[in-house]
Amino acid sequence: MTPIQKIAHLLRTPESSVAELFAKMEKLTGKTGVAEKIYQENETVVAQKLQELGIEREKADAPEVEAGILKKVAEADEAFFDFLGKPDFSRQDSCNAMIETLKKTAKVGKGFFVKEEKLRNFLFLNPPKNIMEVLGYQTVNEMMAKEDIYEIFAALRFVENERWLNEVFFRPYHDITPDNFEERETQIKFLNEKWEPIGQKFVGKKLHNISHLKELGLVFLIPTKKAKTPGMALETFSLVLHYLHEIDFYCRLFRKYAAQPDFGNNLVRLVSGEVSALSLSEEGVNWRIIQRYLGKNDPQDPRLFEPHVNPETVHWFKAEKEIDTIGQAQPQTKLAYWRSVDDFAGELFPAGKKGDELVSFDLLDNLISLTHGGIGKYLYHQQEALWNKIFMEFMGEEKLEEMIVENMEKGVIELK
Output b/e per residue, 64-74; b: 16+ Cβ within 10 A. bbbebbbebbb
Give the separation between CA 257 and CA 262, rounded to whole angstroms: 8
pLDDT category at 226 given cuts 50, 70, 90 is confident
Q: What is the DSSP letter of 165?
A: I
Mind listing the pLDDT tens digit for each residue in 312-369? 999 999 999 999 999 999 999 999 999 888 899 999 999 988 889 999 999 999 998 9
CB-based burial of residue 117 (10 Å sphere; 0-12 exposed, 13-18 middle, 19+ buried)?
Answer: exposed
Helix (H, G, I), strand (E, B) or coil at 70: helix
Q: Which amino acid is at 296?
A: K
Q: Which amino acid is at 65?
A: V
Neighbours of 283 (CB within 10 A): 8
Q: What is the DSSP letter of 209?
A: S
102, containing H or E segment: helix 92-105
CB-based burial of residue 321 (10 Å sphere; 0-12 exposed, 13-18 middle, 19+ buried)?
Answer: middle
Among 93, 122, 108, 57, residue whose Cα is nearest residue 264: 122
Instruction: Inform me whether the pLDDT recorded for 202 exceeds 60.
Output: no
Mean residue pLDDT across the chain: 92
* CA dihedral for 264, 267, 269, 275, sign (positive or negative): positive
Beta-bridged to residue 415, according to DSSP, are: 285
Report yes or no on whether pTM surpasses 0.75. yes
CA distances from 319 to 89, 157, 181, 201, 220 (A): 21, 24, 26, 32, 17
Residue 208: the pLDDT is 60
Mind listing the pLDDT tens digit for each residue in 287-320? 999 987 777 778 888 899 999 999 999 999 999 9
Output b/e per residue, 324-357; b: 16+ Cβ within 10 A. bebbeeeeebbbebbbbebbbbbbbbebeeeeeb
pLDDT category at 207 given cuts 50, 70, 90 is very low
pLDDT category at 49 given cuts 50, 70, 90 is very high
Instruction: Inform me whether the pLDDT recorded for 63 exceeds 60.
Output: yes
Residues 6+ apart with CB under 8 A from 359: 62, 65, 66, 69, 346, 347, 348, 349
Domain spans of the chain, in order of start: 1-83+338-360+371-378+392-398, 92-273
Count of alpha carbons within 13 Å of 407, Cβ hemisphere only?
A: 22
pLDDT category at 375 given cuts 50, 70, 90 is low
List the end-to-end C-alpha distance of the chain, in Å, as a whole number: 31
Q: Contact 327/341 with Cβ under 8 angstroms?
A: no
Residue 201: the pLDDT is 65
CA distances from 24 to 96, 331, 350 (A): 51, 44, 33
Q: Contact 187/172 with Cβ under 8 angstroms?
A: no
Q: What is the DSSP letter of 171?
A: G
Give the mean pLDDT of 269-295: 85
Among 177, 250, 239, 179, residue whose Cα is nearest residue 213: 250
Residue 299: the pLDDT is 81
β-sheet with 412-415: strand ranges across: 308-309, 285-289, 412-415
Q: Which amino acid is at 92?
A: Q
CA distances from 395 to 164, 266, 341 (A): 43, 27, 17
Give the separation between CA 45 and CA 35, rounded to whole angstroms: 15
